[in-house]
Amino acid sequence: MKYILRDRNLSILFISTFLFFTNEALFLPTLPLHLSAAGYNNTRIGIVLGAFALGVLLIRPLSGFITDEKGRKISLILGVMFFLAAPLLYLISTNFLYLIVIRFFHGLGLSFYTTAFPAYITDASDEHRRGEILGHMATSTTLAFTLGPLVGMTIFSSYGFKPLIYLCTLTALVNLIVILQISELHKKTDKKLKIPYKEVILKRSVLVSSFILLIYAIIFGGIMTFLPLLLENIEGVNIGIFFMVESIVIIICRFIAAQMSDKYGRGPVFFYSFLIILCAVYLISEINTMHILIITAVLFGIGSSLCSPTISAFIADDSDPSARGVVFSFFYGAFDAGVIAAGALLGFIADLTSIREMFMLTAIGGFICLILFSLFIKEGFKKSLQWTLLSKRQ
């Protein structure tokens, strides 16, 4: 964390990111309740909420282009401005088609911000500290998703939806003032030296890393969607405890172990952290007491704290500075696609079997995909396995 505190731009970005995702987190538990109160069934609520991720996914190519061509700062500002404009639009109408359009529009902000965020950190950080800095910077997001839903539910329950909207707007306004203070670090590349789009995204490291991020997103989306349904009929087990424990573990681990991928290598840290996530997913199928729930949350928190920053650092290491916006837009587009696909794909499996068996099959499928990642991330099986499994200190 000392590297962030010493760097004015990273400190500003940390505060801005916390405000940005707090804005989003205020909506997470409250918008479905607002839509339910307006008379929507579960299917329609799911469609409205899914329009957000669709907006994020479809605008990724544009956000990547702007991030590389116009600069990281402009994309960060655009992301914040979308989040400033969108909340008040929810108050105009509860018409189904109107809400789909507004939710899609709202998602554009996340696309611009999350494309520029890792690219800016990469520009600002020393490559030997990149994994540690990315991990510490990601703590801002974890803090936001820890506090945001709690604050959102408190305001929604006590005062209603309209005051919550005003808080979201105020948060975005403060964030706009904050992000305007950041300096642009990215230098535009000569067009003659620019790498073609196809060459950027068809690179082995980008394709294979995006594939495994897609799998992680499906797992993440499955837990967000189906874990509450699994636990609702288990007496004495509270879903809120799972997310609270997971968030606390992520924050602690990122402070203690964020530098691991810099010390021991991106491959081993990612492989073993993803393996821990798969163990947690398998254990979900066995949850019947609070003790197992807490163990599962701890494992998932440990794995998640290292998995995402490590693979992001690897992508940053292996990408040209002139194309990082495009790379991250494609990379995080895979995450968006995974979250969108998770509900339908895993829901179909759960209907054929059960939610418990679905989680078990997801863990097994995830392990197979992790093996494929280990075999194809580098040219040649031997080199790939060595990079993935062995510490760079050996």
* b/e per residue 267-289 (b: at least 16 CB within 10 A): bbbbbbbbebbbbbbbbbbebee
Q: Are 350 and 222 in contact (CB under 8 A)?
A: no
pLDDT of 44: 77
* b/e per residue 366-380 (b: at least 16 CB within 10 A): bbebbeebbebbbee
- Mean confidence (pLDDT) of the chain: 84
Same fold, 1-181 and 195-394: yes
* Domain edges within the chain: 1-181, 195-394
- Mean pLDDT across 83-93: 93
Tokens of residue 256, six digits: 């203690």
Highest mean pLDDT, choosing among 148-157, 196-205, 385-394: 148-157
Note the Cα 96 to chain centre separation in Å. 27
- CA neighbor of 106 nearest in space, from 32, 20, 167, 187: 20
As a dihedral over the C-alpha atoms of residue 293, residue 298, residue 303, residue 308, rounded to 10 degrees, the angle is: 100
Q: CB atoms < 10 A from the CB of 181, how many? A: 12
Q: Tell me how far apart the alpha carbons of residues 224 and 236 are, in angstroms, rounded to a whole number.
A: 19
pLDDT of 14: 92
Q: What is the pLDDT of residues 320-354, one digit of tens each?
A: 777 777 787 788 778 877 877 776 788 778 888 88
Q: What fold, for 195-394?
A: Growth Hormone; Chain: A; (1.20.1250)
What one-letter code names the amino acid at 106?
H
The confidence band for 394, taking pLDDT boundaries of 50, 70 and 90, is very low
- Mean pLDDT across 221-235: 77
Query: At residue 196, does pLDDT exceed 70?
Result: no
Q: CB atoms < 10 A from the CB of 220, how many? A: 19
Query: At residue 162, does pLDDT exceed 90?
Result: yes
Highest mean pLDDT, choosing among 129-138, 275-284, 308-317: 275-284
pLDDT of 138: 78
pLDDT of 330: 80
- CA neighbor of 211 nearest in space, from 45, 52, 22, 372: 372
Query: At residue 73, does pLDDT exceed 50?
Result: yes
- Mean pLDDT across 182-197: 65
Query: At residue 40, does pLDDT exceed 60?
Result: yes
pTM assigned to the model: 0.75
The confidence band for 45, taking pLDDT boundaries of 50, 70 and 90, is confident
CATH 3.40.50.360 fits 1-181, yes or no: no
The confidence band for 175, taking pLDDT boundaries of 50, 70 and 90, is very high
Percentage of residues of the chain with pLDDT beyond 70? 91
pLDDT of 33: 77
The confidence band for 16, taking pLDDT boundaries of 50, 70 and 90, is very high
Query: At residue 301, does pLDDT exceed 80?
Result: yes
pLDDT of 311: 86
From the number of C-beta atoms within 10 Å of its C-beta (0-12, 13-18, 19+), residue 12 rates as middle
User: pLDDT: is 243 or 9 the higher one?
Assistant: 9
